[in-house]
């Protein structure tokens, strides 16, 4: 199977975390989060990210409720994913991201970040965790 490059997004209304990974090594790395205004990123910034990393697939975290049902935020994340597809033509997949934010906050705390939103890498850590989980499920 040919290696697949993936750009992952952890959708949020103020910040959208990003991460890049690929199936050859099943590894992922955090990228700087994208600022968002009411869930809308600067689409030119999104396009620059895609131009730089040349992903073959876009992965969007889907913030489901603990019982697996969709929330208002998961519907907004789906809309964001649909816009990504419409603007780029790239395939978009959605991944269950339950508990990724909690794991990301724990990791950020362990790294010494103490909740300063402007400097806190939680969104991109969450995007990396979502992508790593997706890669493990796909390659494991």
Question: Domain 5-139, CATH 3.30.360.10 — does that match?
Answer: no
Query: Could you tell me the pTM of the whole model?
Result: 0.86
CA–CA distance, 81 with 11 (Å, rounded to integer): 9
CA–CA distance, 13 with 35 (Å, rounded to integer): 9
E strands along 38-77, which residues?
Answer: 40-41, 57-62
* Model confidence pLDDT, tens digit, residues 101-137: 666 667 666 766 655 544 456 888 889 889 998 998 8
* Model confidence pLDDT, tens digit, residues 57-103: 999 999 888 888 888 989 999 999 999 999 999 999 999 887 676 66
Residue whose structure tokens are 């955090």:
30
Residue whose structure tokens are 């990210």:
49
């Amino acid at each position: 199977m040919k290696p697949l490059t993936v750009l992952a997004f952890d959708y949020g209304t103020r910040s959208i975390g990003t991460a890049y990974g690929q199936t050859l090594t099943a590894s992922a790395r955090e990228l700087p989060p994208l600022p968002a205004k009411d869930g809308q990123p600067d689409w030119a910034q999104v396009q620059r990210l895609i131009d730089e990393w040349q992903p073959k697939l876009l992965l969007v975290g889907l913030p489901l409720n603990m019982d697996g049902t969709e929330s208002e935020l998961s519907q907004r994340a789906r809309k964001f994913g649909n816009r990504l597809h419409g603007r780029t033509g790239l395939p978009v997949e959605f991944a269950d991201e339950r508990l990724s934010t909690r794991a990301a906050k724990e990791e950020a705390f362990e790294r010494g970040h103490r909740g300063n939103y402007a400097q806190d890498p939680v969104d991109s850590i969450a995007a990396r965790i979502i992508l790593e989980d997706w890669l493990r499920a796909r390659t494991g």
